Amino acid sequence: MTNKVTCIICPKSCIIEAKKEGSGITLTGESCSRGKKYAILEITDPRRIFTSTVLIDGADLRVVPVRTTKPIKKNDWMNAKKIIDKLKLDAPVEFGKIIMSDFLEKGIDLIVTREIFSR
């Protein structure tokens, strides 16, 4: 089975063909080692950094931006959104604060990506 993978590592956006043969995977079209790693991961365990916003009280802003510290499974994005929709923070919030540890998976945290002052 052959899979076409558009590499998302850099703006060059290489199209990498990955062929599954037995337990091995052969690649063609990649132009760097990072692309190679990405293509293999993309057909075995596709993942993305998840970003969204969470509600906050007591600030000039209604929401704060958040991200996962590591990429989560692509299929988990909607679950991730359901979980964070139930959260509400209170200002002030310091930059990089962990608001949930082991978010969906062990070793992946959900953090705030902006410093929020009190109103």
Partner 1 sequence: MKRNELLENYDVAVIGGGPAGLSAAISARINGADNVLIIDRDLYLGGILQQCIHPGFGLKKFNLELTGPEYAHKFVKKVLNSDIDFITDAFVSEITKNNEIFILNSRIGLKKITSKAIIFAMGCRERTRASIHIPGYRPAGVFTAGTAQRLINIDGLMVGKRVVILGSGDIGLIMARRCTIEGAKVEAVIEILPYPSGLNRNVQQCLNDFGIPLFLSHTVTDIQGSRRVKKIVFSKVDIDKRTVAGTEKEIICDTLLLSIGLIPENELTKKIGIEIDSSTGGPVVDNMMQTCREGFFACGNVVQIYDLVDYVSNDGELAGKNAALYSMGKVKNYYNSDKKVFICKGRGIKTVVPQILKDYSFLNKNKQISVRVSDKFDKPVFLIKNNSGNTICEIKKQYALPAEMIHLNINDDFDEILKESTVFLEIKE
List of residues contacting partner 1 (CB under 8 A)? 6-13, 15, 48-49, 51-53, 55, 60-63, 65, 67, 74, 77-78, 81, 95, 113-115, 117
Between the alpha carbon of residue 18 and those of residues 3, 71, 78, 102, the distances in Å are: 5, 21, 27, 32
Closer residue to partner 1, CB minimum distance, 25 or 71: 71
In the complex, least distance from residue 22 CB atom to partner 1, rounded to whole angstroms? 27
Antiparallel, parallel or unpaired: β 24-28 and 15-21: antiparallel
Closer residue to partner 1, CB minimum distance, 62 or 106: 62
Contact present, 25 and 43 (Cβ < 8 Å)? yes
In the complex, least distance from residue 23 CB atom to partner 1, rounded to whole angstroms? 26
In the complex, least distance from residue 36 CB atom to partner 1, rounded to whole angstroms? 16
**Residues with Cβ < 8 Å from 75, sequence gap 6 or more?**
none
Query: What is the C-alpha to C-alpha distance for residues 77 and 48, in angstroms, rounded to an integer?
Result: 9
In the complex, least distance from residue 1 CB atom to partner 1, rounded to whole angstroms? 18
Closer residue to partner 1, CB minimum distance, 65 or 104: 65
